[in-house]
Structure 1
Amino acid sequence: MGTFMGRRSVAEVELRRALGASLAAYREGVPLKQGDLGRLTHYSRTSIAHIEAGRQFPGREFWSTADRRLDARGALLAHYDRVCRQEKQWQIAELRGASRDGGEPPGAPPRDDDWRRDDVNRRELIRLMTLTGTLLAIPASALDAERVAHAAAHPRRLDPAVLTEYERLNAALWRTYSGTRTKRDVLPLARRQVALLKKCLDEPQRAEDRRRLCLLAGDVFQLCGEIFFDGGGYADAAHCYSIAAHASKEAREYDLWACAMTRHAFISIYEREHRSAVPLLDGAARLAERGDPGRATRYWVAAVRAQASAGLGELAACRRALDEAEEVVHLPAPEHTGWLRFESSRLDGERASCFVALGRPDLAEGPLHALLRADISTRRRGGVLTDLAVVGAQRRDVDQLLLHGAAALDTVRQTASAGYVGRKLDDLRGRLVPFLGNRHVRFLDEQIRAVTAAAPEQ
């Protein structure tokens, strides 16, 4: 991988130098000085010198203007497009190669340099997403009139194969996220994909290409939010979901938009601010009504609405929302979209989780045991075991509390990440207080504290 990146870096420099040399040749053939070309393209003389030396690489608008001003008849612009296509092919190859890289075995304890590297990836990813969100927020009226007119007359036409490849990469990222034990491992891959999409959105595009790019951005931003959410970085996750909602709105994809708002509502639910989640979920429900009726979006929104009602102690409202969510069983086939993974197999888990929150162990225990017998992920199994430990506390059954609490701890150790299960275990600690006279419960409390304290601050 390192050798490939080294070769790619050298080759990129050579490509950009060749493009800069072409610019210099056309400029000298007019002839113009570097400062003269700078004034025509709104760049400084120093910038023109850097561009011609391959040290600076402006966007397509510069090359389009230079092509017209130097009467290159499309040659400079075509040269720039060839460079961009080659660089994108390298980036795609790098991303594919990175997804097959080895590294530490699953479940290996994280090293200090792992956390430092994660923080670098995290900061760079947030920066790229913020810049991309800003690009989407700039109205056309804020741009120079000549630039707007030129962009409208000469929009960038992305190769459909490139957009299709980006869609495949997004789907591959979701599969990697679902299959990996340590979700933070997906962070550098997601960062590279965001960088690819930002580069495309940074240039004028045809309306349909821009819409598809916005859809892809809304998709991958939600994935980024899931990575941060799993690691307990709720502020970063909220930022991701907000930008994802904006990108989805620009793409006019109502299901994707509704999912971004629903994920945002999850944060309020996990921080026990259930009332704050309600307006987000109401908005998501209205958006889902405008979406594809063949998708499970509206039913997932209803399931999360049930969790908010359960947190507010509203049993009747919770049951109504669960009944609405249960209509997902009538869909012709499960939804396999990465950003929308709700299907009928999740109904028992949603129902049981709500009844646990409502303090109704009599209603929760049956569905939870049924889930343990099913083929579910380690992450979901950890959540179910924690809920069963809570049921034990609600029934004042210390043996059940200890048995399932210890099993839930084992799932955290298997994944090498506290994340979602760690947060549920931290909530369980509050229910251990009445039982701390028991030495085994005290030991469980100490183990939970040690595991959740080991997770890095984000």
Structure 2
Amino acid sequence: MGLAGRRRELGYSQEQLAQTLGVDRTTVGRWESGRIAPQPTQRRGLAATLGVSLQELDALLSPSRTADRKEATKQSGDHPSAGDLDEMIRREFLRILAISGALAALPADEAEALTAGIRRGAPADFDRMNRHLWQVYQLARSKGAVYPIVRDQLTTLNQALAGSRGNAQPLLNAAADLFQLAGEVAFDANRYSDAAASYMLAASVSKDAGAYDLWACALVRHAYVDMSEHRHRQAAQMLGVAEKLAERGDRTLSTRQWVASVQAEAYAGLGDLDACERALDRAEEVRHLPEGSANGGWLRFDGSRLAEERGARYVQLGRLDLAEITLREALQQAALAPGQSFRRRGAVLTDLAAIGVKRRDPEQAVAYGKEAVELARASSSGYVVRRLRDLCDEFGPLSRDHRMAELGAEVAALNTP
């Protein structure tokens, strides 16, 4: 048994162990994968938390345990280099670039306030093709299958930009759109650094084009990278900038409401129920917008997911009764809606399984969890796999139940793209 195995045996998630020791979750992931060793000042606390001697800790940390390293990488949901220090610095640098570009376009008083908060803590053809690619992406079971088409489209678009004469803004809009789609493909495959780079490029090109709605949406997607690593405060900062940009955009589009919906997730991660509810109420305003407020491409927020979003936020906040009612209704509505993505259904099922885990009800956890596993297998969605692995980290004492152990083994066997 390695370090990851001992942690799971005691019922700790990576995040819980990190909080106990006062380190970042990614640090625990790097200890478990063998990429780094705990500092001398950290070793005694780690040994005490795990209930082992220092000599036994050395055995758990042995770099020769290749299987444990591979398993720890799976549990962390990262690709092999995602936890390396240079990758972490790169993602942070990209995040700062994305925000600083936005600040430059805002009025001085707004930029100053936001900066203080951050310190605390033929073009028509390209447009039609991009819309088609977003539809293909939305309907594809395996999102990674879309990547080669996106790459070819980017190459063609670059050639068009190089030969452009006169007004290049429509082509820049198309490029910002396409970079966001490239980021979505990378994010679904758990390639966070590639996703962050794509979103930063989308934000940069949107800035050059003066396309505030595209720009805000790029920052919203960038915020998801932070939230996937439980960096909710950083995500809230990013979303605050996106909110200001959206205010300068097209009021007939649903950009502002989408920003609010994602802000609700960040606030839920911070444990702020009131702020979460207010953000969800702002998101509900999408129902009063005219038809066409979501273009089906880089802006797809039309309110159809609000029930499942609200249910997921209640799960985060521990409001399980409210969460279960909302999520069951969302699941029933989804069954009647044609073309609902496996990714969305898998997320709702995982949330319902999480309610079972929090209630210490293995039957509910296993019933919904196994259905989500089947969808993850069918779709090869890295997003659903990551959600399921986060679920396994919360098993705690339930992990001793043989049904939960079987579910955990099925999740561990899932392949990420």
| Aligned equivalent of 2:332 | 373
Aligned letter for 2:162? D
Match of 2:405 among 442, 445, 449: 442
Q: CA deviation at 1:164?
A: 1.8
Relative contact order (alpha carbons < 8 A, sep ≥ 6): 1 or 2 greater? 2
| Aligned equivalent of 1:322 | 280
Aligned letter for 2:199? Y
Residues in 1 aligned to 2:309 and 2:400: alpha-carbon distance in whole angstroms? 33
Q: CA deviation at 1:204?
A: 5.2
Confirm or deny that 1:185 pairs with 2:145: yes
Confirm or deny that 1:200 pairs with 2:163: no
- 5 Å-filtered alignment, 1:128-167, equals 162-167=122-127
Aligned letter for 2:327? L
Q: Higher mean Cα deviation, 331-340 or 169-178?
A: 331-340
- 5 Å-filtered alignment, 1:95-106, equals none
Confirm or deny that 1:244 pairs with 2:208: no
Cα root mean square deviation, aligned? 1.8
| Aligned equivalent of 1:168 | 128
Residues in 1 aligned to 2:142 and 2:304: alpha-carbon distance in whole angstroms? 23
Deviation string 1:377-403 (CA, Å, 9 cap, x unpaired) is: 221110000000001111221110110
Aligned letter for 1:435? L
| Aligned equivalent of 1:349 | 308
- 5 Å-filtered alignment, 1:71-82, equals none
Aligned letter for 1:199? Q
Residues in 2 aligned to 1:437 and 1:187: alpha-carbon distance in whole angstroms? 40
Confirm or deny that 1:298 pairs with 2:256: yes
Aligned letter for 1:190? V
Confirm or deny that 1:338 pairs with 2:297: yes
Aligned letter for 1:271? E
Residues in 2 aligned to 1:393 and 1:262: alpha-carbon distance in whole angstroms? 30
Deviation string 1:227-275 (CA, Å, 9 cap, x unpaired) is: 0001111110000000000111111111000000000001111110101
Deviation string 1:297-325 (CA, Å, 9 cap, x unpaired) is: 00000010010000011111111111111
Q: CA deviation at 1:291?
A: 0.6
Q: CA deviation at 1:336?
A: 2.8
Deviation string 1:54-101 (CA, Å, 9 cap, x unpaired) is: xxxxxxxxxxxxxxxxxxxxxxxxxxxxxxxxxxxxxxxxxxxxxxxx
- 5 Å-filtered alignment, 1:52-67, equals none
- 5 Å-filtered alignment, 1:262-277, equals 262-277=220-235
- 5 Å-filtered alignment, 1:213-252, equals 213-252=171-210
Q: CA deviation at 1:288?
A: 0.4
Residues in 2 aligned to 1:204 and 1:225: alpha-carbon distance in whole angstroms? 25
Residues in 1 aligned to 2:165 and 2:248: alpha-carbon distance in whole angstroms? 26
Instruction: Provide the secondary structure at the position in 2 that maps to 1:295.
Output: coil
Residues in 2 aligned to 1:369 and 1:312: alpha-carbon distance in whole angstroms? 25
Instruction: Provide the secondary structure at the position in 1 that maps to 2:250.
Output: coil
| Aligned equivalent of 1:140 | none
Residues in 1 aligned to 2:198 and 2:209: alpha-carbon distance in whole angstroms? 16
Q: CA deviation at 1:215?
A: 0.3
Contact 2:343 2:381 in 1 (8 A): no
Residues in 2 aligned to 1:321 and 1:310: alpha-carbon distance in whole angstroms? 10
Deviation string 1:311-365 (CA, Å, 9 cap, x unpaired) is: 0111111111111111111112252330011112111111111111111111111
Residues in 1 aligned to 2:288 and 2:126: alpha-carbon distance in whole angstroms? 32
Aligned letter for 1:385? L
Deviation string 1:173-200 (CA, Å, 9 cap, x unpaired) is: 1111111111111111111111111112
| Aligned equivalent of 1:390 | 354
| Aligned equivalent of 1:255 | 213
Aligned letter for 1:431? E
Structure with greater Cα Rg: 1
Please identify runs of 4+ aligned residues in structure 1 that moved more than 6 A.
none
Instruction: Provide the secondary structure at the position in 2 that maps to 1:343.
Output: coil
The 1:171/1:418 distance shift into structure 2, 3 A limit, reads closer
Instruction: Provide the secondary structure at the position in 1 that maps to 2:301.
Output: coil
Aligned letter for 1:323? D
Aligned letter for 2:201? I
| Aligned equivalent of 1:408 | 372
- 5 Å-filtered alignment, 1:303-314, equals 303-314=261-272
Contact 2:263 2:279 in 1 (8 A): yes
Instruction: Provide the secondary structure at the position in 1 that maps to 2:304.
Output: helix
Deviation string 1:413-443 (CA, Å, 9 cap, x unpaired) is: 111x141111110110011122022111101
Contact 2:362 2:403 in 1 (8 A): no
Q: Which runs of 5+ in 2 are unaligned?
A: 1-93, 102-121
Q: CA deviation at 1:205?
A: 2.3
Q: CA deviation at 1:411?
A: 0.4
